[in-house]
Amino acid sequence: GENVEQHPSTLSVQEGDSAVIKCTYSDSASNYFPWYKQELGKRPQLIIDIRSNVGEKKDQRIAVTLNKTAKHFSLHITETQPEDSAVYFCAASISLDAGNMLTFGGGTRLMVKP
């Protein structure tokens, strides 16, 4: 099955700096790559996703890039703010008739220091 590796496990940045989180996946058939943000004690919430037919997607201060050849994708957060502090999870799935099974990475704890 699919295996998703996420790095780093923790990331500390100064407010205003950029943060980059990287994920690799094993199954070349995966074609959907969402990113979830989980604040302490809260549920994971989708912040951005990308499908395999595009290489980059942006939404204000966050962007995701995808390299299908190398089987890796990254989350970029620019101009980080203290409220960006959370655990971020990447995931990958194959959209099949059988369903939308997501395999999650291990998570990255991002700390933004004011």
Partner 1 sequence: DAGVIQSPRHEVTEMGQEVTLRCKPISGHDYLFWYRQTMMRGLELLIYFNNNVPIDDSGMPEDRFSAKMPNASFSTLKIQPSEPRDSAVYFCASSLDRGRNTIYFGEGSWLTVV
Q: Which residues bind partner 1 (CB under 8 A)?
A: 32, 34, 36, 42-46, 49, 89, 93, 95-107
**Which residue's CB is nearer to partner 1, number 78 or number 103?**
103
**Which residue's CB is nearer to partner 1, number 77 or number 92?**
92
**Which residue's CB is nearer to partner 1, number 8 or number 82?**
8
Least Å distance, CB 81 to partner 1, is: 23
Q: Which two tokens stand for residue 37?
A: 């943000």
Torsion of CA 37, 43, 46, 52, to 10 degrees: 90
Residue 84: which residues within 8 A CB-CB, separation 6 or more? 19, 77, 110, 112
